[in-house]
Structure 1
Amino acid sequence: MPLYNITLLMVLAFLFVTLTIGLYIRKKDTTFRAYAVGTQEFHITTLIATILATSFGGGFLMRELPNIYDQGIQYPFLIFTMNTVGSYILSLLALHMGPFIQHLSIAETIGSIYGQYIRMITALLTTCSCIGSVAIQINVMSYTIGMCMDTINPDILTVLATLTLISYTAFGGIRSITITDLFQLTTFTIVIPYLLKIVLLKTDQSFLEIIKLLEKQEKFQCKHLLEFDKKYCIQLLNNLHLLFFCSPSIIQRFYMSTGPIQAKKVFSRVVLFEAIIFISIALIALFIFVGNPTLQKDEIWGYILEDMSPFYKGYVAISILAMTMSTADSHLQTASIMISHDMVESMRNIEAPPYMHKLRLAKLATLVTGLLAMIVTVYYPNLFTLSAFVFEWLIGCFTVSVIPLFILTVLGFRSTTPTAFMGMGISILVMLIWNHWLKPKIAIDGKCIAAVANGLATMAAHYLLPQPCGTGWMEPDPEQKRMRQLIRAFKKHRKNIDAE
């Protein structure tokens, strides 16, 4: 048997086990709610695992590892800070989810305040964002398979892997996704220490020698962490949107929680585990730089896999596949909810009885969105070109138009449909104009500017135009007041314990 067949067999075995787990543990869902968000009985550990598995996709590893290697210590410090603070802000936002925790999606939450048309637009933008995210993961699958098995056509295995995740996502629903996420998270977290060991051995140096060498490198000196030169300021402004950016599939985890308190605990603890994973990835990049500081960004993975046995190449391949699939399945499921629940409900009469075929439509929507994502990868076969298109347009439009409105809604701001239209429309217009005219000249992305424009335009339209009674900033409801009292009592109790 040729050695590369070992890698192939490992990948096929991983896909088979994933599909088996996803289909075996599924329950016969009798309601759309159970299929979409479960019955709100998930344990905190399960929710933490599925958030981590969704957050760290294969695209993150493939993109950030070369960026850290190329740009030095400022870049990982900036991304780490933004992501950590962003996750902490989400944990605070979770405490205000009380009035909306029984909803099934972000589109339903926004639509409950601003009406059917805004709900439809939100669902459409969210679906496009999810399709783009899945396309990136499919592209990473193809790249990974081709990288680890250069004698095999990667397209065949990529299609097989995509059909695998579409199958268990469509037929198993959220329960299959969460359980397979646990399996996939375990798979790719094990490979991170292995990669650290491999690249450390390639340096052929001790930790002390590595530290001394990095101290001599200008871009890895700690004194540059808070050195606000022009390059650093551009990086800061380009990544400032990470403070409030959250993917649709992560927001979906709010609705899977038993309540705001559990959601707060989940996102608070996610911060710690995200930090551990990100620091580990940064260390891999640092060790690679020490081992060979002259590599180009596209040569890094070739350096990692050089002289690696087929067995370990196979394990690296299935680990990155696990990262991609755990992210893609969540986005596929979120898109299917948007289509079968929010778009359908938006187009129907409010007084009409509930649509009876949501489950069937959701499964069909999963297949369709998965195939659409594969088509996008055909038009953009290069990972970096695809990522630029997805983040600038598909995810960008969702970020600047939907996220600010969602935050305002959860925090208690109430207005009318025209006001929401103005905010969303102005944000997209600002981003289009900024990225077309200004970004090529100053190299600063317009997402953060457009998101701020959304919030300001929404508030200005509300207070400058006539509005009906009962709009504006609302007082906390009794449930929110009770939770605030519980939190204050808990903090006071902790303070007394520390004092003793």
Structure 2
Amino acid sequence: MIYYSTTLLMVLAFLIFTLLVGLYATKKAITFREYAVGNKSFHTSKLVVTTLATIFGGASMMVWTTCFYDWGIYSMTFSIILMFRYSMCSLLGLRMGPFMQHLSIAETIGSIYGKYPRLIVACISICFMISMVSLEINVMSSIIAMCIDSIDPRIFTMLATLILIIYATFGGIRAVTVTDVWQFVTFTIMIPLLMKFVFIKTDKSLLEAFLFLKKHHEFSLSNFFKVDSNTQKSGLLLEFLSTVPFISPTVIHRAYMSAGPMQIRKVFLCVSLIIPVIIIFLLIISLFVFVGAPNLPVQAVWPYILADMPPVYKGCFMISVLGMAMSTADSNLHTASIMFSHDVVQSIRGIKRDPYIDQLRIAKLAGLFTGLLSMIVTLYYLDPLDLAEYVIEPITFAMPIIVLPPFILALFGFRGTTCTALVGMATAIVMATGIVVTYGWYDWVKDIMVLSGILANGLAMMAAHYCLKQPKGQGWVALDPQQKRIQQLIRAFKRYKKRLDLK
């Protein structure tokens, strides 16, 4: 009884404090723009933390740890993929100057291609974010059930979900950012404690653990470059290329919260450098589990970690997972409410004025409805694997082929019509669907589908633009004055750095 009371009290205290932090950050009088992106005076470090908290959710920690246990040194591919992905974001951020007053990626696409592409992007983004919130709720329920079997896990899951819905819906981006910082701090404190417990459980010294790992080829550096057709290492290059393009609309929303392109570059550059550190921590946990029990099936990794865990360590572990799950869920919940109120409603009703009457109230109601809908999806897909396979994966693979090409082209100065964007999207969907119908839903098919869909979308847009008659003012535009100044500063810095190297 004392065992469970300690763990329960720790988790309950964390949830109550999270609610208090969220309510403290809530402003009573707030405009819709402040609710959506704040006043654009966020410190760079705060934007870095909230971006990391959005990227790393409870599902990331649970799934990646088991994958690292199974894949060995090959798991470092994740850090390379994510580093490259967010390094690209830091470079693309330099071209977001003309769109810094927008509130979402859907608005940026709509400002160039019209309301119908804006509506399509907003709808598919909202579906993706609902699925992500459902996944994090599912993970919270699973981890509570694994750690505490004396009470119904749905009680704490409902409590945690209602708390994040309350502060994310009524507090806006300020409450989401502040709670993300608090939750990420708890994650960084608790992870070393989990590492310590798993290491103690191996009953070996660091030298003995190193020598043990050295005997297994899965963890040798040479195995990192080896491609084996009978394992999940096959198609390393194809997987790398297909995974890089995916960027969550919630993460892109952090760019719109920045003061300008230079701050976007700093934020995503810092994120790309910190991500490998976090992945290394998770990899170390997996390595210690492998040293302690090298022959476990993947499904038994977390039961092994949690077995015989003291209540304090178990409470720290639950707080860590809950914190990361809530930080990802509240960010997706907030972005979904903004897109519904700002992009979907405005596109359907043809509202020109921004903000329109009751826009803030609609956003809050949308956040509440999105949270409740995510809970319903979670109840329908009780198994996280089913949720990932039937809901998250199709949307995740559809998003880059529909959203990425028009967005990238807009950043690089392409100005097209609604017809141009719709032709590109339709071509990408038809090609991706044809590939899946022909070959089935296999891993290598998904990779080819993403790459071919992105390429088909971009080429179809170019073909439609140059083959069809276009109104005046469409096509490629030159850099604006702000972008030119940024380029001049970068070139001047490179010349200055080159002179220092020569000295």
TM-score > 0.5 by shorter chain = yes
Contact 1:238-1:444 at 8 Å conserved across structures: no
Give 1:164-183 correspondences, 5 Å limit.
Answer: 164-183=163-182
Identity percentage of aligned residues: 49
In the other structure, the counterpart of 1:452 is 455
* Secondary structure in 1 matching 2:186: helix
In the other structure, the counterpart of 2:316 is 315
Contact 1:50-1:182 at 8 Å conserved across structures: yes
Between the aligned partners of 2:193 and 2:82, the Cα distance in structure 1 is 25
Between the aligned partners of 2:406 and 2:27, the Cα distance in structure 1 is 35
**2:359 aligned with 1:362:** no
Worse overlay, 62-71 or 2-11: 2-11
In the other structure, the counterpart of 1:242 is 243
Between the aligned partners of 2:181 and 2:502, the Cα distance in structure 1 is 39
Between the aligned partners of 1:428 and 1:370, the Cα distance in structure 2 is 29
* Secondary structure in 1 matching 2:225: coil
Worse overlay, 485-494 or 265-274: 485-494
1:201 offset after TM fit, Å? 1.7
* Secondary structure in 2 matching 1:22: helix
Contact 1:78-1:236 at 8 Å conserved across structures: no
1:387 offset after TM fit, Å? 1.6
Between the aligned partners of 1:353 and 1:103, the Cα distance in structure 2 is 11
Change in Cα spacing, 1:440 to 1:363, as seen in structure 2 (3 Å) is closer
Q: Deviations for 1:338-375, whole angstroms, at most 9, x for unmatched residues?
A: 11111121123355674211111111101111111111
Compute the TM-score of the two structures, normalised by the length of structure 1. Answer: 0.96
Structure 2 residues not aligned, in runs of 5+: none
Contact 2:246-2:399 at 8 Å conserved across structures: no
Between the aligned partners of 1:354 and 1:270, the Cα distance in structure 2 is 32
Q: Deviations for 1:209-239, whole angstroms, at most 9, x for unmatched residues?
A: 3232222212222112122343434354234
In the other structure, the counterpart of 2:493 is 490
Between the aligned partners of 1:429 and 1:5, the Cα distance in structure 2 is 55
Give 1:198-347 correspondences, 5 Å limit.
Answer: 198-230=197-229, 231=231, 232-347=233-348
Between the aligned partners of 1:85 and 1:285, the Cα distance in structure 2 is 23
Contact 1:29-1:35 at 8 Å conserved across structures: no
Between the two proteins, the alignment pairs up a number of residues equal to 499
Contact 2:227-2:235 at 8 Å conserved across structures: no
1:377 offset after TM fit, Å? 1.1
Between the aligned partners of 1:72 and 1:268, the Cα distance in structure 2 is 27
Worse overlay, 195-204 or 352-361: 352-361
1:86 offset after TM fit, Å? 0.5
Between the aligned partners of 1:282 and 1:344, the Cα distance in structure 2 is 44
In the other structure, the counterpart of 2:471 is 468
Between the aligned partners of 1:222 and 1:276, the Cα distance in structure 2 is 18
Between the aligned partners of 1:51 and 1:101, the Cα distance in structure 2 is 17
1:46 offset after TM fit, Å? 0.4
1:429 offset after TM fit, Å? 2.8
In the other structure, the counterpart of 2:405 is 404
In the other structure, the counterpart of 1:13 is 13
Between the aligned partners of 1:292 and 1:261, the Cα distance in structure 2 is 47
* Secondary structure in 1 matching 2:258: coil
**2:34 aligned with 1:31:** no
In the other structure, the counterpart of 1:193 is 192
* Secondary structure in 1 matching 2:178: helix
Change in Cα spacing, 1:234 to 1:436, as seen in structure 2 (3 Å) is farther
In the other structure, the counterpart of 1:145 is 144
Q: Deviations for 1:232-271, whole angstroms, at most 9, x for unmatched residues?
A: 3435423433322111110001110000001101111111
Q: Deviations for 1:85-113, whole angstroms, at most 9, x for unmatched residues?
A: 00100000000000001111111100000
In the other structure, the counterpart of 1:110 is 109
Compute the TM-score of the two structures, normalised by the length of structure 2. Answer: 0.95
CA RMSD of aligned residues (A): 1.7
Q: 2:482 aligns with which of 470, 475, 479?
A: 479
Between the aligned partners of 1:23 and 1:59, the Cα distance in structure 2 is 26
1:457 offset after TM fit, Å? 2.0
**2:158 aligned with 1:159:** yes
Change in Cα spacing, 1:371 to 1:304, as seen in structure 2 (3 Å) is same
1:19 offset after TM fit, Å? 0.5
Contact 1:128-1:395 at 8 Å conserved across structures: no
In the other structure, the counterpart of 1:418 is 419
Change in Cα spacing, 1:351 to 1:32, as seen in structure 2 (3 Å) is closer
1:404 offset after TM fit, Å? 2.2
* Secondary structure in 2 matching 1:469: coil
**2:70 aligned with 1:70:** yes
In the other structure, the counterpart of 1:386 is 387
Between the aligned partners of 1:353 and 1:411, the Cα distance in structure 2 is 26
Contact 1:237-1:444 at 8 Å conserved across structures: no
Q: Look up the equivalent residue of 2:210 and give its one-letter code.
A: I
Change in Cα spacing, 1:441 to 1:401, as seen in structure 2 (3 Å) is closer
Contact 2:191-2:317 at 8 Å conserved across structures: no
1:470 offset after TM fit, Å? 2.5
Q: Deviations for 1:438-491, whole angstroms, at most 9, x for unmatched residues?
A: 244674312233222222222222223332332222211111111100111222
Contact 2:52-2:271 at 8 Å conserved across structures: yes
Contact 1:419-1:461 at 8 Å conserved across structures: yes
Worse overlay, 205-214 or 102-111: 205-214
Structure 1 residues not aligned, in runs of 5+: none
Q: Look up the equivalent residue of 2:466 and give its one-letter code.
A: Y
Q: Look up the equivalent residue of 2:408 and give its one-letter code.
A: I
Change in Cα spacing, 1:389 to 1:441, as seen in structure 2 (3 Å) is closer
In the other structure, the counterpart of 1:134 is 133
Worse overlay, 258-267 or 304-313: 304-313
* Secondary structure in 1 matching 2:227: coil
Change in Cα spacing, 1:5 to 1:448, as seen in structure 2 (3 Å) is farther
Worse overlay, 488-497 or 17-26: 488-497
1:147 offset after TM fit, Å? 1.0
Contact 2:106-2:118 at 8 Å conserved across structures: yes
Contact 1:82-1:239 at 8 Å conserved across structures: yes
Between the aligned partners of 2:310 and 2:18, the Cα distance in structure 1 is 24
